Amino acid sequence: MREHRNGQTARGRRAPSLPAPRERLAARIVRGLGDRILQGALKPGDRLPSEHELGKSFGVSRAVVREAITSLKAEGLVATRQGAGAFVLKPRRADTFRVAESDLATLEEVLHMLELRVSVEAEAAGLAAQRRSAAQLAGLREALDRMQAGIERGEDAVEPDLQFHLRVAEATGNRHFAGFIRYVGRMLIPRARVNVIGGAPERRAYLAGVNLEHEEIYRAIAGQEPDAARAAMRIHLTRVRERIRAAYERRRQTTRRTTDAHPHQ
């Protein structure tokens, strides 16, 4: 029986769709339950719902549920007890990527974070240039316009800056890039943590420079030029790194001059 392009057979009945592979269905359960465990919605010692309940909740067979539980056990997230079911374990810290505010208390750690950002976000910009939709491009434009408006009002514009980087990540079509940006959040924007700007005139000049760098990234993504987008993001974050270095050096020199002028205070 012939199948037409719209997925219907010659007699008008829709052709049956192929079932999703079992491993893909199991991965969906692993991701759903794993996220709830890591986010604390399911706590150590909690009993997971029964195989029947999980199968009904996710719309899969008990065999798929058993496969997912086996994967969660391999990841150290649950343990099973014969006749009692599966129970949540305390996630192993070594297996969980984590960045806390306190981890960025030194210049070295801030610069380490920027090195990570260069690696991740340069590639994200290149993928965004290849994959972005018209709506995603409009979202990037909106974040840039909000940042410019904030600069003109004398604000630091941290939020639209973060939104711009998040929307670049979302435009990759790869949820892990956006997940990284959301996880690290405001720690991505060093001026939210470190005074790299100075007084009002310096602040305006600094932020205008940042937004010009964002404009270069935007133009490359708009023009669907992956290599140019990667280069523009790399240049932007490298300049951020150098501004941070300069800010710390200014602070160190100021502290030294104050100490030299008042050695016994």
Query: pLDDT digit string (tens) for 111-165?
Result: 888 888 899 999 999 999 999 999 999 999 999 999 999 888 888 788 899 899 9
Q: What is the mean pLDDT of residues 190-217?
A: 74
| pLDDT (0 to 100) of residue 144 | 95
Q: What is the pLDDT of residues 42-89, one digit of tens each?
A: 999 999 999 999 999 899 998 889 888 988 887 788 998 888 899 999
Least confident interval from 14-23, 30-39, 215-224, 231-240: 14-23
* CA 30 – CA 38 distance, rounded (Å): 12
* CA 100 – CA 113 distance, rounded (Å): 11
Angle at CA of residue 142, ends 136 and 143, nearest 5°: 95
| pLDDT (0 to 100) of residue 141 | 97
Find, among 76, 53, 63, 64, the residue nearest to 29 by Cα: 64
| pLDDT (0 to 100) of residue 76 | 83
Angle at CA of residue 209, ends 204 and 214, nearest 5°: 125
| pLDDT (0 to 100) of residue 98 | 61
Q: At what angle do helices 134-152 and 200-222 cross, to 10 degrees?
A: 170
pTM score, two decimals?
A: 0.60
Interacting residues of 138 by C-beta distance below 8 A, sequence separation 6+: none
- Residue with the bigger pLDDT between 56 and 251: it is 56
The domains found in the chain, sorted by start residue, are: 22-94 (1.10.10.10), 101-261 (1.20.120.530)
Q: What is the mean pLDDT of residues 252-263?
A: 69
| pLDDT (0 to 100) of residue 203 | 72
Q: What is the pLDDT of residues 86-112, one digit of tens each?
A: 999 987 654 456 665 555 656 777 788
| pLDDT (0 to 100) of residue 127 | 98
Nearest-Å Rg of the Cα atoms of the chain is 25
- For residue 253, pLDDT over 90 is answered with no
Q: What is the pLDDT of residues 20-38, one digit of tens each?
A: 555 578 888 888 888 888 8
